[in-house]
DNA sequence: TTCACCGTGTCT
DNA sequence: GACACGGTGAAG
């Protein structure tokens, strides 16, 4: 009897161990990595075979047989299984949770077969006359089939044949039925992989990458290139070398929707070698894309975070573009960082990783300095355009001068000048909605969400107050819910308010707004960006998504309304994120022929993150920031794990958090610092109270090992965040 | 996660 | 005594 170790694919921490099942002889050879259907309890579940055990082991339970095999070829390679295991130990999630990251999201057990479409082909002896004349529609369908030589159900339906007619035709003796993989990806012209010219600086950076690709050697490169220095060209060159090796290139971008310039560049170069992966694809499109990669019909995958889990064991290159970007960190469920997974996968696949950024994460730059990564630099913009000039405006001074508007005089000037010159401007404001809070003038009571510990935001579109943490929304109250006063006032400006203000002050300006509210509507985000690129708007106003990696030729001006919004968040990465945001936003200006101008409004004009970004001085910023981190033991000069206990009763949450603190303090007395339990800024979301615990130490691998096998690991309502941001 | 089990409490 | 509810533990 063959006994297989099976991991049950279910998100329960208690199922975090292999279960033993019998593999019936009838199923033939079932390799490790294959997904199977198994009986569990009374039900049927999906499982993954991760190993075999010798028959000789004595078992103190009865084994059940595997019901059926769900993959023709194993979905998981041994590398994928190993990486998932590594992930589960590093990020403190269950093995099934880690494995699930490599699979395609599907809720039920029904169809594991990759989606196929039925095609009908006429056999040579099939004629229209062989169908009785009164079956008119069948005759027409056969005539159509003969004329095109074969058609899918969908094509027949498009021709106006009903499903019953198609079914009848498919059962005719002269018709052959064949299943084909669905073919929904865009078909680009296949073409020769072109010669990709590089500048001297690019060629210098590329040389060691090329060497690693062709020698199939793991190495990690940090490509530090100022905005507009042509990093993408280096990626394309590297991808070409990888394709020439007949290996898969994985290109990660922070948000696929907002980075389709990258996709366009790759498709221009590689045609249908490129497969794009993002969350809006249907399941059959996903299967289809993976199938193309596995069969090496395509060699390049471009995608966001989750594309790092590409199911292939022959990766020849991984690129992490804009590697500093926070969206590479998954912030719920399994809180992995795609950059870390990329490094692990590259290591097991013996291939290079390129981490590219104009503002590398402090973590990556630190590792480059220590020699863990190889540092490659592109210090100049490609056509030697100068970096934009940056003007800092101290908003305290503006207030003293009696300017209470959201636009400083300098900002107004910049807008005016840009409009006059018929050039384009990007304006950044990190707050969406209309006004950020609503308060009663009489009693000072802010209007809060009844389920969360936050104030409601007024949204103009539907005249509603909305909670940004849950789905709660309500009409604006006419009178104060507390004292009955009618003096309800709106405070704080969001993107909607500023849009209105801009329109009022500059009535001729064509303004586009881009924030979560716009981007959430399918296709709208892309429309806005395309419209702006095409020159249909003068000003693009939005939240941080307008600052990310776009290349708009016509933009000469960038305005940042509140440089401090991120700086004031109590996070150890606040300075880093501010520097990134400002530098990236400023980098959008002056990529074409004209010089760029940037105005930054701030209440902290002396903060080093702001001063250094004004000077485009990454290294200067790094130096100050790393000193601060070293002094306090923050990453990368130490490790952290954050615990968040959620419970509907506050004291219950506190009680469990306290138990965690006590346990970890007791066991790791001298090695780590345990902070908490404490409440975060927002201490209740969706009626659940949140209590946090943070631990910090030079290295936490022993702590992780301990937690993995302790009650903390399986504690209900506890979210563990390794390397929190 | 899902399901059965058990103890408790409430209603008839 | 019948049933509903919530907490607990096991699943091969």
Domains of chain A: 3-100 (3.40.1440.60), 117-180 (1.10.10), 200-383 (3.40.50.300), 385-434+493-628 (3.40.50.300), 639-722 (3.30.70.600)
CA distance A394 to A410: 10
Measure, in angstroms, how far nucleotide B12 C1' is from residue A647 CA.
Answer: 36
Q: Which nucleotide is nearest to A13 (CA to C1')?
A: B1
Q: Are A72 and A21 in contact (CB under 8 A)?
A: no
Q: How many CB atoms lie within 10 A of CB A710?
A: 14
Q: Judge if the beta carbon of A52 is closer than 7 A to nucleic acid strand C.
A: no
The 3-state DSSP class for residue A374 equals strand
The DSSP symbol for A383 reads T
Which residue's C-alpha is at the least distance from the C1' of C10? A41
Q: Which nucleotide is nearest to A17 (CA to C1')?
A: C12
Q: Judge if the beta carbon of A19 is closer than 7 A to nucleic acid strand B.
A: no
pLDDT at A187: 43
Measure, in angstroms, how far nucleotide C12 C1' is from residue A40 CA.
Answer: 8
Q: Which nucleotide is nearest to A15 (CA to C1')?
A: C11
The 3-state DSSP class for residue A321 equals strand
Q: What is the pLDDT of residues A250-266, one digit of tens each?
A: 999 998 777 777 888 88
**And the tokens for A106?**
């599907």
Measure, in angstroms, how far nucleotide B5 C1' is from residue A83 CA.
Answer: 38
Measure, in angstroms, how far nucleotide B3 C1' is from residue A450 CA.
Answer: 34
Measure, in angstroms, how far nucleotide C10 C1' is from residue A14 CA.
Answer: 9
**And the tokens for A453?**
């510990």
The DSSP symbol for A174 reads T
CA distance A569 to A648: 26
Measure, in angstroms, how far nucleotide B3 C1' is from residue A42 CA.
Answer: 8
Measure, in angstroms, how far nucleotide C8 C1' is from residue A641 CA.
Answer: 29
CA distance A296 to A298: 5
Q: Judge if the beta carbon of A39 is closer than 7 A to nucleic acid strand C.
A: yes
With vertex at residue A148, the alpha carbon angle to CA A142 and CA A154, rounded to the nearest 5 degrees, is: 75
Indicate whether this model's pTM tops 0.85.
Answer: yes
Q: Which nucleotide is nearest to A61 (CA to C1')?
A: C12
**E strands, A369-454, where?**
374-378, 389-394, 424-428, 437-440
Q: Judge if the beta carbon of A570 is closer than 7 A to nucleic acid strand B.
A: no
Question: Which segments of A are annotated as binding site?
Answer: 440, 443, 449, 452, 467, 470, 480, 483
**And the tokens for A40?**
């569990």
Q: Judge if the beta carbon of A18 is closer than 7 A to nucleic acid strand C.
A: yes
**And the tokens for A182?**
């669905």
Q: Judge if the beta carbon of A63 is closer than 7 A to nucleic acid strand C.
A: yes
Measure, in angstroms, how far nucleotide B1 C1' is from residue A74 CA.
Answer: 25
Measure, in angstroms, how far nucleotide B10 C1' is from residue A716 CA.
Answer: 30
Chain C positions under 7 Å from a protein CB?
10-12
**And the tokens for A717?**
């309502």
Measure, in angstroms, how far nucleotide B1 C1' is from residue A77 CA.
Answer: 26
Measure, in angstroms, how far nucleotide B9 C1' is from residue A658 CA.
Answer: 32
Q: Judge if the beta carbon of A11 is closer than 7 A to nucleic acid strand B.
A: yes
Q: Judge if the beta carbon of A40 is closer than 7 A to nucleic acid strand C.
A: yes
Q: Which nucleotide is nearest to A11 (CA to C1')?
A: B1
Q: How many CB atoms lie within 10 A of CB A195?
A: 7
Pick out chain A residues at pLDDT < 50.
107-114, 183-191
The 3-state DSSP class for residue A459 equals strand
Q: Which nucleotide is nearest to A12 (CA to C1')?
A: B1
**And the tokens for A503?**
């329109």
Q: Which nucleotide is nearest to A40 (CA to C1')?
A: C11
Q: Which nucleotide is nearest to A60 (CA to C1')?
A: C12
Measure, in angstroms, how far nucleotide C7 C1' is from residue A716 CA.
Answer: 13
Q: Judge if the beta carbon of A107 is closer than 7 A to nucleic acid strand B.
A: no
The 3-state DSSP class for residue A298 equals coil
Q: Judge if the beta carbon of A13 is closer than 7 A to nucleic acid strand B.
A: yes
**And the tokens for A329?**
């960190």
List phi, psi (to 5°) of A393.
-115, 125
Which residue's C-alpha is at the least distance from the C1' of C11? A41
CA distance A267 to A253: 15
CA distance A619 to A44: 57
Q: Judge if the beta carbon of A686 is closer than 7 A to nucleic acid strand B.
A: no
Q: Judge if the beta carbon of A12 is closer than 7 A to nucleic acid strand B.
A: yes
Question: Which segments of A are annotated as binding site for Zn(2+)?
Answer: 440, 443, 449, 452, 467, 470, 480, 483
Q: Which nucleotide is nearest to A66 (CA to C1')?
A: C12
Chain B positions under 7 Å from a protein CB?
1-4
The 3-state DSSP class for residue A53 equals strand
Measure, in angstroms, how far nucleotide B7 C1' is from residue A659 CA.
Answer: 27
Task: Give me the A residues in range 43-102 that sit within 7 A (CB) of strand B.
Answer: 43
Look at strands A597-602 and A672-678 and give their pairing: unpaired
**And the tokens for A688?**
């659940």
Q: Which residues of A200-221 are buried (b: 16+ CB within 10 A; e: fewer)?
A: ebbeebbeebbebbeeeeebbb
Look at strands A639-647 and A464-466 and give their pairing: unpaired
């Amino acid at each position: 009897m063959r006994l297989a170790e099976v991991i049950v694919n279910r998100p329960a921490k208690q199922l975090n161990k292999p279960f033993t099942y019998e593999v019936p002889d009838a199923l033939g050879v079932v390799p490790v990595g294959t997904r199977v259907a198994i009986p569990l309890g009374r039900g049927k579940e999906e499982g993954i075979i991760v190993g075999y055990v010798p028959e000789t082991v004595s078992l103190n339970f009865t084994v059940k047989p595997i019901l059926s095999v769900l993959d023709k070829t194993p979905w998981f390679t041994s590398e994928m299984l190993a990486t998932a295991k590594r992930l589960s130990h590093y990020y403190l999630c269950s093995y099934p949770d880690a494995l699930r990251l490599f699979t395609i999201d599907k809720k039920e057990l029904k169809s594991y077969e990759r989606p196929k479409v039925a095609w009908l082909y006429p056999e040579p002896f099939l004629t229209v006359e062989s169908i009785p004349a009164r079956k008119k529609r069948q005759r027409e369908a056969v005539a159509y089939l003969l004329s095109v030589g074969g058609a899918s159900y969908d094509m027949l339906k498009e021709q106006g044949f009903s499903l019953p007619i198609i079914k009848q035709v498919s059962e005719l003796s002269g018709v052959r039925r064949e299943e084909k993989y669905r073919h929904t990806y865009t078909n680009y012209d296949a073409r020769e992989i072109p010669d990709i010219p590089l500048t001297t600086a690019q060629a210098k950076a590329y040389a060691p990458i090329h060497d690693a690709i062709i020698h199939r050697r793991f190495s990690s490169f940090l490509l530090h290139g100022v905005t507009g220095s042509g990093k993408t060209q280096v990626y394309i060159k590297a991808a070409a070398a990888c394709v020439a090796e007949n290996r898969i290139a994985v290109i990660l971008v922070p948000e696929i929707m907002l980075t389709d310039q990258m996709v366009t560049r790759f498709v221009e170069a590689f045609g249908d070698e490129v497969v794009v992966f993002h969350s809006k694809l249907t399941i059959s499109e996903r299967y289809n894309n993976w199938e193309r990669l596995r069969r090496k019909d395509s060699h390049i995958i471009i995608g966001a975070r989750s594309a790092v889990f590409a199911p292939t064991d022959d990766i020849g290159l991984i690129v992490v573009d804009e590697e500093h970007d926070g969206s590479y960190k998954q912030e719920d469920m399994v809180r992995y960082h795609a950059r870390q997974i990329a490094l692990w996968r590259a290591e097991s696949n013996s291939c290079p990783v390129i981490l590219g950024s104009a503002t590398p994460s402090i973590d990556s730059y630190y590792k480059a300095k220590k020699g863990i990564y190889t540092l490659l630099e592109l210090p100049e913009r490609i056509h030697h355009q100068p970096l934009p000039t940056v003007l800092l405006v101290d908003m305290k001074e503006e207030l003293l001068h009696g300017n209470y508007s959201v636009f400083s005089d300098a900002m107004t000037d910049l807008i005016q000048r840009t409009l006059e010159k018929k050039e384009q401007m990007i304006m950044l404001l990190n707050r969406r909605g209309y006004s950020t809070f609503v308060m009663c003038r009489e009693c000072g009571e802010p209007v809060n969400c009844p389920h969360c510990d936050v104030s409601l935001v007024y949204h103009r579109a539907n005249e509603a107050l909305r909670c940004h943490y849950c789905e709660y929304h309500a009409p604006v109250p006419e009178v104060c819910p507390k004292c009955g006063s009618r003096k309800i006032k709106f405070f704080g400006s969001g993107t909607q308010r500023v849009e209105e203000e801009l329109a009022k002050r500059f009535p001729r300006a064509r303004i586009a707004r881009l924030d979560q509210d716009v981007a959430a509507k399918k296709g709208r985000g892309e429309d806005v960006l395309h419209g702006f690129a095409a020159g249909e708007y003068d000003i693009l106003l939005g939240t941080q998504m307008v600052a990310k990696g776009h290349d708009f030729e016509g933009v000469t001006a960038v305005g940042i309304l509140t440089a401090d919004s991120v700086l004031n968040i109590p996070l150890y990465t606040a300075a880093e994120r501010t520097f990134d945001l400002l530098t990236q936003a400023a980098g959008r200006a002056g990529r074409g022929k004209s010089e760029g101008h940037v105005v930054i409004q701030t209440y902290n004009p002396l903060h080093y993150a702001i001063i250094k970004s004004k000077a485009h001085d990454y290294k200067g910023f790094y130096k100050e920031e790393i000193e601060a981190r070293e002094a306090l033991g923050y990453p990368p000069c130490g490790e952290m794990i954050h615990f968040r206990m959620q419970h509907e009763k506050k004291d219950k949450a506190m009680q469990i958090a306290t138990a965690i603190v006590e346990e970890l303090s007791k066991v790791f007395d001298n090695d780590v610092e345990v902070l908490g339990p404490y409440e975060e800024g927002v201490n209740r979301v969706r009626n659940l109270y949140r209590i946090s615990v943070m631990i910090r130490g030079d290295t936490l691998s022993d702590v992780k090992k301990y937690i993995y096998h302790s009650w903390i690991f399986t504690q209900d309502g506890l979210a563990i965040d390794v390397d929190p941001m």
